[in-house]
Amino acid sequence: MASRKPQLKISRQGQETKEVKTKTDNERYISFSFRYFQNTDQLPAQSLETWHTDGSTIDLLRSLAHISQRNITELQAGDKKLTLYKSFPNKQVNEFSCPSGLSEDENWGCLRNIGGQKARVAGFLKNNIFYIVFLDKEHKFYKSSK
């Protein structure tokens, strides 16, 4: 009797064979919300339309995509894209006013270097959601002492 050859393996073409890594619970990633966004050109803020007109919305979207793929520790320590101030900055370093209905005690901060060193997005972080409140092209939210 002739010996049987082993059966050929079935091809898995089109099927994902690599294990997908999932994020652990201790890695905190940021999502974004425009719920409290102040879409205004009343200085010192700018509107989305103004950022679109000068070509900055693509920089904003690229930055949001980059930030959402990094954990909070990397954003603060590594590439320094996120700075948190723990509360709304005082008038000595800030030209913005806290909008009515929002608390100065929230964990206010900035997303930095949006298409250049000056441009910022100001808002606050709560439960891993960064609420975008202001677009700040001229770095008037928590001005540096330079």
DSSP letters for 31-46: EEE-TT-----STT-B
On whether residue 78 sits in a domain, the answer given is: yes
Instruction: State the pTM of this model.
Output: 0.79
Query: Which tens digit of pLDDT belongs to each residue from 27-66?
Result: 789 999 999 999 999 999 999 999 999 999 999 999 999 9
Token pair for residue 106?
């929230």
Contacts of 64 by beta carbon, 8 Å cutoff, 6+ apart: 32, 111
Residue 95 has pLDDT above 90, yes or no: yes
On whether residue 77 sits in a domain, the answer given is: yes
Residue 79 has pLDDT above 90, yes or no: no
On whether residue 145 sits in a domain, the answer given is: no
What pLDDT shows up at residue 143?
83
25: Cα separation from own chain's centroid: 19
6: confidence class by pLDDT, cuts 50, 70, 90? low
* Alpha helices (H) in 10-127, listed in sequence order: 48-53, 57-68, 72-73
Residue 4 has pLDDT above 90, yes or no: no
93: confidence class by pLDDT, cuts 50, 70, 90? very high
On whether residue 146 sits in a domain, the answer given is: no
**What total number of domains does the chain contain?**
1
On whether residue 130 sits in a domain, the answer given is: yes
Residue 26 has pLDDT above 60, yes or no: no
Is 23 within 8 Å of 77 (Cβ atoms)? no
On whether residue 142 sits in a domain, the answer given is: no
On whether residue 23 sits in a domain, the answer given is: no
**How far is CA 114 from each of CA 7, 13, 61, 87, 102, rounded to the nearest angstrom?**
57, 41, 9, 22, 24
Residue 20 has pLDDT above 80, yes or no: no
Count Cβ neighbours within 10 Å for each residue of 83-94 and write b for 16 or more, e otherwise.
eebeebbeeeeb
On whether residue 44 sits in a domain, the answer given is: yes
What pLDDT shows up at residue 27?
73
Taking the CB of residue 61, how many other CB atoms lie within 10 A of it?
11
7: confidence class by pLDDT, cuts 50, 70, 90? low
Is 85 within 8 Å of 108 (Cβ atoms)? yes
User: Which domain, by its residues, includes 88?
Assistant: 31-96+104-136
